[in-house]
Chains A and B, each alone.
Chain A
Amino acid sequence: HINSIVFLLLFIMLSYYLCSFIVLIMFFSLPAVNAVWPMPQLISSSTDRYPLSPRQFIFQYASGSSAKSGCSVIDSAFKRYFPLIFVDYLKKTEKHMYRTFSMQPMLNVYASIHLSFPFSVVDKLSVSSGQASLRAKTVWGALRGNKTIHIRHYFVNKTEIDDFPRFKFRGLLLDTSRHYLPLPAILKTLDAMSYNKFNVFHWHIVDDPSFPYQSSTFPGLSSKGAFHPSTHVYSQTDVSRVISHARLRGIRVLPEFDSPGHTQSWGKGQPGLLTSCYKGSVPSGTFGPVNPAMSSSYQFISRLFKEVASVFPDPYIHLGGDEVDFTCWKSNPEVRGFMQKMGFGTDYTKLESYYMENIINLTKTLNKTSIVWQDVFDNHEKIPEETVLHIWKGSPAQIQQELSDITLAGYRVILSAPWYINHIAYGQDWTTYYNVQPLNFTGSEQQKSLVIGGEVCMWGEYVDATNLSPRLWPRASAAAERLWSDEKTTSSVTDAFPRLTDFRCRLLRRGIQAEPLFVGHCRHEYEGI
């Protein structure tokens, strides 16, 4: 297969436009050849194509591969992608198709995988007469490449791809507190994420409205704080199922336990945790953020996070820290006394800083790195340098300023503000998500390198299992390409439209309920209701 790579290298330098031109030509020939989404860094496709026989096609580990049969991630990926490539293979009604193909001189195409050098994601895929090979330094790269083999109706084009992601952090946030999302909805989203090469599932698992995480240390949190203690919770089994489903697809699970605000539901199962709000000199019966004046608060968080750190294997935890309302703290005499004792005066941002500093340090002792919403930076808390800031608000100009400021201070940053896709609008709003330029801000090269990626957020006020999938896909796919592909080769919405239209039909074919971009049809329409 090395020979064929040499043969195909000629195509690598072709420009994007020529490339999409070829794709367009193929679009009108039958069967259609589909474009890849997100666009690989380097791709060259020829019009030569080879038939694939589902009876003869095999995936196999190449002889030089450091991963061998028995590697669960790759073994299960082979199993998953085979039926995605040969969609109708198991359907009797389409048997006649194979006969048609066997009339042609049969080429035995197989894919082999080389794996070496862990901890880097670079993949190389080449498809040529007789065989295809995919080289990746890690299993995670191999997963991305597997998906990239664009084979449809048992043809594959002579193609050379050399691919790697532009950003390391390509996330998607689901909010399981404002509405409970049943496990199948989460697993399905992870499937769709992998088709889009997303690699972080940011699980905004708890918030004000409900606490569905079933803690083994503090079972009262969900038994009192969930919408329902047995039907609307995530058990430890559920959580580990999500984590392993994600792992097999090369996706990290980043849990968020947001505090000190956004914690109304915590208070139900943990009396004394939240600040009691006062009306004059008496408690009003309502509660505010976590009480930062009580040492018991930190003891509680410490025990909860110890559990969280062991349940979620990812080295990062999202600590939230956004939108802390000071009114309740101000009303509470104990909190005011604490302010005085600490010499904070009447500056409640100092109190907030004190709290965040404590829990970031506490997280550090658990060997985890903290990610926090931008508010924590804005309020000038002393933050350890390895902390990652997460931008979620502001006008385009404010976002650029925030990116400049945070990276100038030397912190790594994740961008979400332009990708709040819970905000729906009439028409083709995917174009605004596509046109985002994450590195378009004033700053040095060094600063730009601190932008580790971005994240699509699907907040749950108006979203539950009934409308999640069509609202996510293919709108999130626009951000997926922005985060994976080279911005120079993917700057045109016009070029992206036919590829994305095609990609959404492919998502549909794979059972993802992805909504249309505009008037038209898919060969196989969605079969549910």
Chain B
Amino acid sequence: MYTARLFAALLLAVVCLATQEEYDNDILEEGITLTDSQYGSLWPLPQKVQMSTVVFKLSGASFQIVDAKESSSGASCSLLQNAYRRYFEYIFPSARKQGHVKKKTPASAVSELQVWITSADTECDGFPNVTSDESYQLSVDSPVSVLKASTVWGALRGLETFSQLVYEGEYGAKSINRTEISDFPRFAHRGVLLDTSRHFLPIKVILANLEAMAWNKFNVFHWHIVDDPSFPYLSRTFPQLSQQGAFHPYTHVYTPSDVKMIIEFARLRGIRVVPEFDTPGHTQSWGKGQKDLLTPCYSGASPSGSFGPVNPILNTTYEFMSMFFKEVSTVFPDAYIHLGGDEVDFNCWKSNPDIQKFMEQQGFGTDYSKLESLYIQRILDIVSSTNKHYLIWQEVFDNGVKMKADTVIHVWKGNQQQYQDEMSRVTASGYQVLLSTPWYLNRISYGQDWQATYKADPQDFNGTDAQKKLVVGGEACLWGEYVDATNLTPRLWPRASAVAERLWSDKDVRDLNDAYSRLAQHRCRMVQRGIPAEPLFSGYCAYEYKGV
């Protein structure tokens, strides 16, 4: 019914293209013809799906998600036990748990989903990382369905897929088709960047979006936690950074326990938390709580009173950074830290006589990118000494800084031609690369802009197979100039879902009509689960957003 109604709505949307704004029709009509996808509401589309027309029923009173007997995981794995409960509630939103009284199940019903972890090390208590195995096999049959995965990470992805296969049949009964799925991600790094410096995002908003990320099989939360406007990260070593640099020292900060909660919430959903502490530019807010960290800018012969990037010529700078990154490396368990390194403005450095002198001593001439390189080099050394790997924005590569071979370069600039050339160059140099340029979702426009997002492919560039393999994935970025808790969620979803499918599904999954049908249903599912995901076009969801 759910599907059928939606289908009717989509048909209607086609009929009704005559809109109030006649001049917008070109946007609306971009070749989309609406038919139901044979893959129902699956999003992102699994690598291999075989769906039969045989339909089974699921009953809230009898259905259970349980550990398979053969599974290496058991009741002690709270990550999975939590996930079972979560997904049971997604499948049966209104079912009250009345203890499991096992009723007789009709012959054509699925009474159990058995989750079978095959690897001896389930990784239940660990953190996901870039090499985590997220593959799984799902076999939906009556009376028992089986989800097989080598680790808990694959099981989490498979549970999501299972929940997406369930639909409301006639008379509201939960139904599922006999299905065989074999699935794995195309890319290992599938991220969403949120910016908590330009606007502070309350914990609740971050958690809700981590939840939505899991529904879209994203696995990296890139936390752009500090920047020029504010420093909400409460550092135990340097508490004055947020005391002075946050919008408000108590209401607009992330305490150590907040950070811990976010990391654990993410872990339970198979999501890594990669923090970004961007330097030497984008650090105005750092300067408020840490005297002498930033370069004093000069107007003629005297200081102007304003400050530029981090001062790269003082030993105190590196002492500060060593202590600071030592703390960061223990607070954030992920193997990677994002070090930023983008958009360094040289004007202030140029104006400062001490820096001019230093440039002379080092024999840099007037090439300030050499000074930048010197700074970055030392930061990379500091971070390496904490046993962390790093991600870095593309400028650092462009400026020729020497980096460890396992550094990941994050491409964010240029038009299509330019970013594809950059991907070529980075991979030709043997570095791993992450793409974000086509996925700056803070940039909004009128109409169905998810289509352009969906069409971009991170492996579309000139290069050998070996080069293509160096693409670890991509990230949807939601920069915070115009975004806070009031509009973040509907702006991100379902637009980021388009990125999610590009990064998870096979590269040949590109049919816009099929995608529209599945995505419209996927967004209604997100709405039903409580996330205000905005509509793709005219139409309706059986359960509209109620959180006004």
Contacts and interface: CB of A to CB of B under 8 A. Distances in A.
Contact of B540 (A228, A422, A424, A519): A228
Given A464-B534, A465-B545, A521 B12 contact: no
B94 interface: no
B538 A515 contact: no
Majority SS at the chain A contact face: loop
Interface string A407-436: 000000000000010111111100000000
Interface residues of A, number: 62
Given A460-B538, A470-B487, A519-B198, A227 B443 contact: no
Contact of A526 (B230, B480, B485, B531): B485
A228 B535 contact: no
Interface stretch (B202-210, B344-352, B377-385): B202-210
A57 B196 CA distance: 40
A517 B224 CA distance: 20
B484 A525 contact: yes
B482 A227 contact: no
Nearest to A186: B548
A459 interface: yes
A460 B537 CA distance: 8
A175 B15 CA distance: 18
A307 B13 CA distance: 29
Interface stretch (B183-191, B247-255, B331-339): B247-255
Interface in A506-521: 508, 513-521
Given A227-B540, A516-B199, A525-B202, A464 B485 contact: no
B446 interface: yes
Given A425-B444, A459-B19, A466 B486 contact: no
Contacts of B12: 208-210, 264
Contacts of B485: 525-529
A482 interface: no
A227 B446 contact: no
Nearest to B230: A521
Contacts of B202: 525-527
Contacts of A232: 540, 544
Interface residues of B, number: 60
A378 interface: no
Nearest to B198: A519
Given A466-B532, A519-B229, A521-B247, A182 B486 contact: no
Interface in A60-90: none
A469 interface: yes
Interface in B510-536: 527, 530-536
A261 B18 contact: yes
Nearest to A289: B18
Given A209-B12, A464-B544, A526 B229 contact: no
Interface in A466-523: 466-467, 469-471, 508, 513-521, 523
A529 B208 contact: yes
A245 interface: no
A528 B204 CA distance: 8
Interface-central residue, A513, A521, A527, A529, by most chain B CB under 10 Å: A529
A262 interface: yes
B445 A426 contact: yes
A515 B540 contact: no
A183 to B, nearest CB: 9
Nearest to B490: A467
A362 B527 CA distance: 43
A463 B445 contact: no
Contacts of A460: 538
Contacts of A286: 15
A180 interface: yes
B170 interface: no
A467 B534 CA distance: 6
Interface of A: 175, 178-180, 182, 184-185, 188, 207-210, 227-228, 231-232, 261-262, 264, 286, 322-323, 325, 392-393, 420, 422-428, 457, 459-467, 469-471, 508, 513-521, 523, 525-529
11 contacts: A207-B16, A210-B12, A227-B539, A322-B20, A393-B21, A424-B445, A465-B546, A515-B483, A516-B484, A525-B485, A528-B204
